[in-house]
């Protein structure tokens, strides 16, 4: 009997399987308890496997001052920048030092979805990532709100969906991570962003679900985080995270991806 025939998708992983076996061995097969509580606690399998190439893609939040000249060098701070992508990479590399991972960042400040598409061949498909993490959307609305772009939320969703489909056709085994666009209510982010911004978040989630991708709930995380420090602590201008904001994003990413 193969386990994949009998486990629901989110709980079916070799990791859970071996964990189970250990626990069965430990309790001598007598374990019984609430499965409801258990399912709440169950973790996702890790997306990241030995030998994987991991690519972060997006806008300035992903870019975070990365060094362009050394962009082809994996696993180093300068080409990975100073943001969540670097912090998530550093934690992954330190935790999985034996896994021979190669991690790259190709985020570019100011990008909207159509600009990712313009450079997708060389900055994504040619790198043949095993795991691809995308965070895009805040400029799609921001540049529209300030009159520098005429794209709507429908354009965002259509372009994003097409980009993901193109990726899956070129790289059929790629594991996709779609990050939730987020803002903090401070700095450049005022009332005119809402409720429009929620539409962009919802669109990203639909793109994610249609692709069977892993979703990283950045907005949900920040909505909780503002109970403990004001919005400006997490992102002074409401868009670009502080080092602390980036650290929280990295935590959320690592948890979603299962590192």
206 contact partners, CB below 8 Å, separation of at least 6: 157, 161
Q: Which is nearer to its own copies, 3 or 122 (CB)?
A: 3
Helix H or strand E segment including 55: strand 53-58
- Cβ neighbours for 91, distance < 8 A, ≥ 6 positions apart: 250, 254, 259
- Which is it for strands 53-58 and 175-179: parallel, antiparallel or unpaired? unpaired
How is residue 250 written in tokens? 């990295």
Pick 205 or 255: Cβ nearer its own copies: 255
SS3 content of the chain, % helix, strand, coil (to 5): 55, 10, 40
243 sits in which H/E element: helix 243-257
Residue 128 Cβ vs its own copies, minimum distance, rounded to whole Å? 22
Residues contributing to the site for its own copies (CB under 8 A): 1, 3, 6-8, 11-12, 15-28, 30-35, 37-39, 41-42, 75-78, 82, 86-87, 89-91, 93-95, 97, 221, 224-225, 227-229, 233, 243-244, 246-248, 250-251, 254-255
Output the smallest distance, CB 192 to its own copies, in A: 28
Compute the least distance from the CB of residue 168 to its own copies, in Å: 28
User: What number of helices (H) and strands (E) belong to the chain?
Assistant: 14, 5
CB of 150 to its own copies, least distance (A): 37
Nearest CA among 168, 180, 174 for reference residue 135:
180
Residue 177 CB, shortest distance to its own copies, in Å, is 18
Query: Using CA atoms, how far apart are residues 78 and 81, in angstroms rounded to an integer?
Result: 5
CB-based burial, 2-25: b 16+ in 10 Å, e otherwise: eeeeeeeeeeebeebeeeeeeeee
Report in angstroms how near the CB of residue 55 gets to its own copies at its nearest.
Answer: 17
Cβ-based nearer residue to its own copies, 145 or 247:
247
Nearer to its own copies, 112 or 231 (CB): 231
| φ, ψ for residue 249, nearest 5 deg | -65, -45
> The tokens of 139 are what?
């400029």
Which one, 26 or 169, has the nearer CB to its own copies?
26
Toward its own copies, which CB reaches closer, 83 or 129? 83
Among residues 115 and 242, whose Cβ is nearest to its own copies? 242
CB of 225 to its own copies, least distance (A): 6
How far from chain centre, in Å, is Cα 246?
Answer: 12
């Amino acid at each position: 009997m193969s386990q994949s025939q009998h486990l629901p998708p989110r709980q079916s992983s070799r990791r859970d399987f071996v964990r189970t076996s250990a626990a069965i061995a430990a309790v001598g097969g007598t374990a019984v308890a609430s499965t409801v509580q258990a399912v709440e606690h169950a973790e996702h399998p890790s997306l990241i496997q030995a030998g994987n190439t991991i690519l972060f893609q997006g806008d300035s939040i992903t870019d975070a001052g990365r060094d362009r000249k050394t962009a082809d060098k994996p696993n180093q701070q300068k080409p990975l920048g100073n943001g969540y992508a670097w912090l998530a990479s550093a934690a992954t590399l330190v935790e999985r030092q034996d896994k021979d991972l190669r991690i790259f960042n190709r985020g570019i400040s100011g990008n909207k979805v159509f600009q990712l598409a313009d450079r997708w061949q060389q900055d994504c498909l040619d790198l043949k990532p095993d795991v691809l993490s995308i965070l895009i959307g805040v400029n799609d609305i921001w540049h529209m709100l300030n009159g520098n772009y005429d794209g709507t939320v429908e354009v965002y969703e259509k372009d994003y969906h097409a980009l993901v489909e193109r990726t899956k056709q070129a790289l059929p085994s790629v594991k996709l991570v779609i990050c939730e666009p987020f803002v903090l209510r401070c700095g450049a982010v005022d009332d005119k962003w809402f409720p429009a911004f929620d539409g962009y978040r919802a669109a990203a989630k639909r793109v994610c679900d249609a692709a069977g991708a892993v979703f990283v709930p950045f907005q949900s995380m920040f909505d909780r985080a503002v109970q403990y420090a004001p919005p400006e602590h997490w992102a002074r201008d409401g868009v670009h995270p502080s080092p602390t904001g980036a650290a929280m994003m990295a935590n959320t990413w690592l948890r979603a991806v299962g590192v």
